[in-house]
């Protein structure tokens, strides 16, 4: 076959070894009359032509000799050197002209998604997204090629013949339109098991796993009627920028509007039905809406709905889900005890952050005023009842009750606040956490009394989570206060430190941690303070995405410090390290699991996503021989951050 591009219409009749698995699948869908987005394939013969024109075998051999990939640092150096090597390749003029012509004529010069058609590993990164401009397209093709080679080497392909190593996978350049809406659908309703119902989930803009609020629509394929519509309140959406996806607020008028009309939902259901006729397997379909036309962007078989990243609970609550086992604990954040039953799912290991603020704020009066009035007893009883309510829902699993961490602005809306709260220019960085507990101890002491009442019931382990402790001296003073209560001697009680600031991470070995049961790393707070932004400022917050490699380095340092402290004092009880991630991010969860965190705390809505990410990451680790020790370094996640 000539070393030229192959387009969507020819995928199905091209040898799979030339165009790859994904291209063949897209070609089959196209031939079956299913609308798929346009794409073209850089074939194996074309990659061979580029390789030969640049004497790439020799150059790669030299790189491998310099970077043998024995250690993690070797792998990082190898990845960087490969990237430099491939992006500096000279594309033969005829091939470059063909690529540029295809991009402008076939993809209309728009955004592109560049992926391997036959990735060498299931853990391979998803490719280069949101690529715009012909020069960027060519550079991204070379970058993806470099990643394919690096992934092959890192998964045992170091000794492959050089031509095999270089030609592992064709590369697809897919059109990435500015989707009006997108999401996924099942050819069988995962909530009811009905084979006559197509279940659809969607969001405005470009679907992203971080989006937790999705519309759900069910279509009966016997009558082609929509039989269920569940619009979600969608406050955020992702749209395509020049280089990256951008998160932005959804217009108020659209927030509760269904992303698909009934006509469009039925159109998607007909596509699902056609796919179902081709295969007896249940299918998960990724879709987007562009120009009021439904397009399929990918299809994968579903063997067991309880193992899906978006399981049946998205469509209706599961009653008896089947769970895969995982060793990293999964916890949720909570606070409104009236919703305890719906927040606590089967398979959770506890509550990683039980906020006291909701119970206190519900009374409508500043807590300092409450503890000085006849309502003191009422507040104490309400806090105790909140803990006990969640204990009953959890069946005796761990609860980390976080002491109140109000800012002065949050307290300022309560009655009598003017008598107690200062006016602060930036309350997030102000008078809160440990400082407030130590200088105004009345509320702190009442909270300890409420916790003590719950501990007496012995309904399960309870930890007190200390927020915004800014210095070792503050922690020392708080521990003295705990010592006076007698709580530290209780078998079902422990003290935990929430790590909110970079100082906490880098100065942790100076803190008096011997009496602590564990640590919870507040990712939102840590990320905000690293970048000098207030997480409460939503517009500013959205401009600065999570820096996965940087956060992974800080996680790694924390785990290492805790481990070293334990080794230096063998009489200490084992201490746990959790991360608290209010805005779910799969790459950070995967990074944390690989680094060896003991638990992950997310919002209840993200629990199923986090569970699947944990299980998949642990399975991958076992697959590459890491079952006996999670010791990946932060640098491993630089690729995922892209």
The answer to whether residue 1 is domain-embedded is no
Q: What residues have CB less than 8 Å from 622, skipping those under 6 apart?
A: none
Q: Is the pTM of this model over 0.85?
A: no
Instruction: Report pLDDT for 155.
Output: 66
- Residue 168 falls inside a structural domain: yes
Structure confidence at residue 539 (pLDDT): 78
Residue 528 and residue 596 in one domain: yes
The verdict on 276 and 368 lying in the same domain is no
Residues 6+ apart with CB under 8 A from 321: 306, 311, 312, 313, 346, 347
- Total structural domains within the chain: 3
CATH of the domain at 232: 3.30.470.20
Q: Which of 269, 289, 313 lies at the terminal end of a domain, its last residue?
A: 313
**Which conformational region is residue 401 in: left (phi greater than 0), alpha (psi within -120 to 50 degrees), or beta?**
beta
592 & 455 share domain = yes
CATH of residue 129's domain is 3.30.1490.20
What is d(CA 638, CA 585) in angstroms, rounded to the nearest whole number? Answer: 14
Structural domain includes residue 227: yes
Q: CA–CA separation, 360 vs 186, rounded Å?
A: 43
When computed from its CA atoms, the radius of gyration of the chain, rounded to whole angstroms, is: 27
Residues linked to residue 57 through DSSP beta bridges, in sequence order: none
* In contact, 296 and 285? CB cutoff 8 Å: yes
Residue after which a domain boundary falls, among 175, 203, 228 = 175
Q: Is residue 187 part of a domain?
A: yes
Pairwise CA distance, residues 539 & 222, whole Å: 46
Q: What is the pLDDT of residue 158?
A: 61
Please indicate, yes or no, whether residues 238 and 150 belong to a single structural domain of this protein: no
500 shares its domain with 556: yes
Residues of the chain with pLDDT under 50: 1-2, 304-311, 317-324, 571, 624-642
3-state secondary structure of 203: strand
What pLDDT is stored for residue 321 in this prediction?
A: 34
Helical segments of 279-362, H only: 340-343, 357-361
Assess whether 40 and 138 both reside in one domain.
yes
Residues 275 and 418 grouped into a single domain:
no
**Using one digit for the tens of pLDDT, what is the confidence trace for 388-401?**
999 998 888 899 99
Query: How far is residue 211 CA from its own chain's centroid?
Result: 10
In a domain, 419, yes or no: yes
Q: With beta carbons less than 8 A apart as the criterion, state whether 469 and 478 touch.
A: yes
What torsion do the CA atoms of 16, 20, 25, 30 make, to the nearest 10 degrees? Answer: -80
> At 449, which CATH number?
3.20.20.60
229 and 143 within one domain? no
Residues 360 and 263 in one domain: no
Domain assignment present for 59: yes
Q: Are residues 289 and 342 in the same domain?
A: no
Expressed as residue numbers, the domain containing 199 is: 181-313
Are 143 and 243 members of one domain? no
Residue 318 lies in a domain: no
Q: What DSSP line would sit under 454-512, residue for residue? A: HHHHT-S-EEEEE----SHHHHHHHHHHHHHHTGGG-TTEEEEEEE-SHHHHHTGGGS-
Nearest partner of 213 among 271, 254, 261, judged by Cα: 254
Q: Which of 175, 198, 227 is the last residue of a domain?
A: 175
Same domain, 190 and 151: no
Long-range contact set of residues 621-630: C-beta below 8 Å, sequence gap at least 24: 621/593, 621/594, 624/155, 626/594, 629/596, 630/593, 630/594, 630/595, 630/596
pLDDT, tens only, 417-443: 889 888 888 889 999 999 999 988 999
């Amino acid at each position: 076959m000539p070393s030229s591009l192959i387009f969507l219409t020819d995928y199905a009749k091209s040898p799979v070894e030339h165009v790859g698995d994904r291209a063949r699948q897209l070609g089959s869908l196209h031939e079956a009359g299913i609308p798929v987005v346009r794409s073209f394939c850089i074939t194996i013969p074309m990659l061979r032509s580029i390789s030969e024109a640049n004497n790439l075998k020799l150059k790669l051999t030299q790189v491998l000799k310099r970077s043998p990939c024995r250690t993690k640092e070797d792998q990082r150096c190898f990845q960087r050197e490969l990237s430099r090597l491939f992006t500096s390749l000279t594309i033969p003029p005829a091939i470059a002209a063909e690529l540029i012509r295809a991009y402008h004529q076939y993809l209309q010069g728009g955004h592109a998604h560049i992926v391997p058609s036959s990735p060498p590993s299931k853990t391979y990164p998803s490719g280069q997204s949101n690529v715009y401009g012909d020069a960027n397209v060519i550079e991204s093709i070379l970058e993806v090629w470099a990643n394919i080679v690096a992934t092959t080497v890192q998964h045992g392909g170091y000794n492959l013949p050089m031509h095999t190593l270089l030609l592992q996978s064709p590369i697809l350049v897919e059109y990435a339109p500015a989707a009006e809406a997108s999401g996924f659908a099942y050819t069988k309703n995962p909530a009811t098991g009905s084979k006559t119902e197509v279940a659809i989930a969607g969001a405005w803009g470009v679907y992203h796993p971080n989006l937790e609020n999705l519309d759900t629509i069910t279509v009966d394929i016997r009558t082609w009627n929509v039989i269920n519509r569940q619009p979600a309140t969608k406050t955020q959406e992702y749209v395509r920028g020049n280089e990256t996806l951008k998160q932005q607020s959804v217009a108020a008028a659209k927030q509760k509007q269904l992303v698909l009309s009934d006509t469009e939902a039925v159109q998607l259901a007909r596509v699902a039905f056609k796919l179902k006729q081709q295969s007896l397997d249940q299918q998960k379909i990724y879709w987007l809406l562009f120009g009021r036309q439904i397009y399929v962007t990918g299809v994968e078989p579903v063997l067991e709905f309880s193992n899906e990243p978006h399981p049946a609970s998205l469509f209706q609550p599961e009653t008896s889900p089947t769970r895969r086992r995982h060793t990293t604990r999964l916890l949720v954040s909570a606070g409104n005890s009236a919703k305890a039953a719906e927040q606590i799912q089967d398979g959770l290991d506890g509550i990683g952050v039980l906020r006291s603020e909701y119970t206190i704020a519900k009374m409508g009066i500043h807590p300092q005023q409450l503890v000085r009035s006849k309502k003191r007893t009422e507040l104490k009883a309400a806090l105790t009842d909140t803990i006990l309510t969640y204990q009953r829902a959890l069946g005796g699993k761990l609860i980390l009750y976080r002491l109140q961490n109000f800012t002065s602005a949050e307290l300022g809306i309560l009655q009598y606040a003017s008598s107690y709260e200062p006016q602060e220019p930036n309350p997030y960085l102000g008078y809160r956490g440990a400082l407030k507990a130590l200088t105004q101890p009345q509320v702190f002491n009442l909270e300890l009394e409420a916790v003590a009442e719950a501990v007496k019931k012995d309904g399960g382990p309870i930890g007190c989570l200390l927020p915004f402790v800014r210095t070792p001296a503050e922690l020392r003073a708080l521990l003295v206060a705990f010592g006076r209560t007698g709580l530290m001697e209780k078998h079902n009680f422990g003290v935990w430190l929430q790590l909110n600031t970079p100082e906490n991470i880098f100065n942790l070995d100076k803190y008096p941690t011997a009496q602590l049961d564990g640590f919870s790393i507040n990712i939102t707070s840590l990320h905000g303070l690293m970048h000098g932004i207030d997480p409460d400022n939503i517009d500013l917050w959205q401009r600065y995405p999570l820096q996965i490699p940087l956060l992974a380095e800080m996680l790694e340092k924390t785990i290492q410090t805790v481990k070293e402290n334990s080794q230096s004092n063998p009489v200490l009880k084992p201490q746990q390290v959790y991360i608290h991630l209010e805005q779910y991010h799969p790459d950070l969860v995967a990074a944390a699991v690989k680094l060896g965190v003991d638990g992950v705390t997310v919002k209840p809505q993200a629990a199923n996503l986090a569970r699947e990410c944990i299980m998949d990451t642990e399975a991958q680790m076992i697959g590459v021989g890491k079952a006996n020790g999670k010791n990946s370094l932060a640098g491993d996640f630089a690729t995922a951050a892209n």
